Every structure is written in structure tokens, then in C-alpha cells.
Amino acid sequence: MTGTPDDAAERHVPVLLQRCVDLLAPALAEPGAVLVDCTLGMGGHSEAVLEQVPTARVVGIDRDPEAIARASRRLERFGDRFRAVHAVYDEIGDVVSDVVGGPVQGVLMDLGVSSLQIDEADRGFSYAHDAPLDMRMDPTTGQTAADVLNTYDERALTRILREYGEERFAQRVARAIVRRREQRPWERSAELVEVVRAAIPAATRTTGGNPAKRTFQALRIEVNGELEVLERAVPDAVDVLAVGGRVVVESYHSLEDRIVKRVLAAGATISAPPGLPVVPDEDQPYLRLLTRGAEEASAVERESNPRSASVRLRAAERTRSTPAHRRPHRPTDRPHDPGERTR
């Protein structure tokens, strides 16, 4: 099922939508300017840019074939101003080279799980619906959440629950997961919710929502390699920008925001040792930060769109070419299947 344009618009509520457009628009003012929407999802951010910035073209990347199909239907009225690419967004360098052929004027990343993935109950992302434990953003490739639960040892499970889910009781939950799989393999999300709830002390279950929320988040991040992908993608996103181009990133997890902050701050900082009377040209900053720290959603938006409660937005503008010694090193091999290129 590919849905309709109206269906996509109704189901997807973009976070900080107008703020993202306002930050990107100055860089997209010249005819033929290109924005790469690295996390196309249901196409809400791309649609707003195409509507409000008539000079812009958009290349939308997503690893989820269903998202590509729905967003393409939603945005087909823009004709050749929009092009969808089925890829993981750490492939942005290859996508820009193949599709655009040169530097771009804008890059947008809206990280985390999309509305489509949460709403499709049979994908297993939501702890509110019983479903197979899948959680793959691209359901055509890679390990599932069930694979992780059935094969990782207690120590590995504890690590991902603690690091990615910030779960205080990570070891207790991991031990319960291993104990339960000795009886039968993990298959369904409702079973996981039940085991997690039982593993967490009753006194701590009265606040903070469903106690399985943190475990589901940790599994999703692990299954999709989200932090590893982001570590590669943010430097490459900066690298594909033309001078004057802008990058905007929305994060929903402290570890995501830390990666983004580190890359943007490094580009906006002199790299020479302190105390030099003259800073060499190659050590001058090549980015200008456009936000003071990380911006959050307003109280009004948090009330109307709960997904915006944890957002942290950072943005920067490229002011000059990146010196050769500060350019990202890209491995030739990536640990995932890039899948189908364009659609």
C-alpha cells in the first residue's frame, strides 16, 4: 500500500517545520539550488521547501521503500524539482555525486524514527501495538530486533540498553531477556513489553510513561546502526555543501545531538594551537554556526506535536572550502547494503 498525498500530509507532522525552512531558504535563493533532504520520511519538510522556495530543487533520501513511495506520490506535483533516492543517508556523498554532480546548497536531517514507521503497527517500532519484532527502517535488509534479542549475550544487551536507551536497569532487563529466550525465541513486541515491565522495580514504573520505551529505542538504534550512520553522515553532509550552503539537523537523543554538536563546532573553530601570532589559512574556521546552542520546540508545538518534546536543532553555514587536512576520511566499504539507487 502506497497511500495518497493527503494521507501522507495528514499522518506526518514535521517538527520545527517553519524554522527549518527559514534557516535553509537564504542558501536556496538562486535558481537551481539543491537541498538534500537526508531523511525524507513522509515528505513534509521537502514539501514546505518546494512550496516556499520556488528556486529550489530537492533530492530526498530514505532507506525505507515505503517512505519513498508515499513521499513521491505526495510530491509528484512538483515534477522534476523533486527526486527520491533509496539509500541510507551516510551515502550522501555518493548520492550527490550521482544525482547532482556537484556541491549542493542545503542539507537537512530530521533524525530518529519517522511517523510512518511508528504508525505501521506491523513494523514493530511501537511498544503500544503487538507486532513481529522487526524495527528495520529498511525492511528488505539487515538484522531484526528479534535477531538482536535472540543472539546478543547479556553483556552486549546491557550495553545497548544503557547507552542507547539510557535505561537505569539495563542489566536487569538484559538478564530477563536472556532468561526468557531460554524457554522460546523472541518473536513479538507484546512479549517484550511484558518482560521489561516485570524486570523494572514497581516503584519506578509510576512515572515516565511505558517502561518499555527505553528498551524499544535502544533496539531500534542498534538494529539500524543509527549512531554509526550519523557519525559518517554529518561530516559528509558538510563536505558536499557549496560555500554559502547550509546544513540543518534535528536530533531527538542526547547521543545524536552530541555527534552533531562535535562536527559543527569543529568546523566553526580555529584548529591551530592557541597563542600563534598569525593563524594559518588552513586552520581558519570553515563553518559559521546559525543557532546559539541547540534550539528546542516551543511550548505550543510540544503540546500539539508530542514528538517535538525532545528535539534539538543545530544549523551551520559553510563559509569556505574545508582544508584538505580537515576533510572527513571515508571508508571504501560500508556495513550495509545501499539498496536501490533511485526511484
- Residue in the structure block whose three cell numbers are 528479534: 146
Alpha carbon distance 251, 234 (integer Å): 12
Residue 110 labeled ligand binder = yes
Assess contact for 250 and 20: CB atoms under 8 A.
yes
C-alpha cell at 281: 589559512
Residue 64 labeled ligand binder = no
Residue 306, SS3 per DSSP:
helix
Residue 89 labeled ligand binder = yes
Residue 6 labeled ligand binder = no
Residue 252 labeled ligand binder = no
Residue 281, SS3 per DSSP:
helix
Residue 101 labeled ligand binder = no
Strands 287-289 and 104-110: unpaired
Alpha carbon distance 316, 332 (integer Å): 27
Residue 62 labeled ligand binder = yes
CA distances from 297 to 53, 219, 230, 252, 312 (A): 23, 26, 22, 11, 8
Binding annotation: 43-45, 62, 89, 110, 117
Binding annotation for S-adenosyl-L-methionine: 43-45, 62, 89, 110, 117
